[in-house]
């Protein structure tokens, strides 16, 4: 006996209640373009911390608006 196999189109995957496919689609939500940056925090020429940043191209005001 061979491995069980299923095929699904994106619309089928989006509409499914199969937990595995739901997880798969949820995983895709994090993929795609995220503009990234980084920042070294330095005190007296000593590098202390590197911050990896997902660069959100939005003002704090806009972010507050989106949350409400």
Partner 1 sequence: MKRFAIGWCLADCPCPEDVHKTDVGPLAILSVSECQASAPRQRLHHQVSCFDLGMDLLPIAPRAVLTEQDAVEGAAAHAPHIMEHIERLAGLGQLTLLLSGPEIVAERPARGNSWLRRRQAERHEAEETVQKMQRAVLRLISNSGLPLRILHNPKRGTVQCHLLVQRTEAARIRAGIAAEAQTLPAETGLLQVTGLWPPYAFSQLQEPQADRAVA
**Residues in the site for partner 1, rule: CB under 8 A?**
1-14, 20-21, 23-25, 27-45, 50, 54, 56-58, 62, 66
If one counts every other C-beta atom within 10 angstroms of the C-beta of residue 16, the result is: 15
Q: Provide the minimum distance between the beta carbon of 56 and partner 1 in the complex, in angstroms, as a whole number.
A: 8
Q: Provide the minimum distance between the beta carbon of 22 and partner 1 in the complex, in angstroms, as a whole number.
A: 10
Q: Provide the minimum distance between the beta carbon of 17 and partner 1 in the complex, in angstroms, as a whole number.
A: 14
Q: Which of 60, 58, 57, 61 is nearest to 35 (CA)?
A: 57
Sign of the torsion angle spanned by Cα atoms 6, 23, 58, 39: negative
């Amino acid at each position: 006996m061979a491995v069980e196999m299923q095929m699904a189109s994106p619309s089928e995957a989006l509409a499914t209640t199969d937990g595995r496919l739901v997880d798969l689609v949820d995983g895709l939500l994090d993929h795609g373009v995220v503009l990234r940056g980084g920042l070294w925090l330095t005190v007296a020429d000593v590098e202390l911390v590197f911050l990896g940043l997902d660069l959100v191209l939005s003002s704090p005001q806009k972010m507050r608006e989106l949350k409400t």
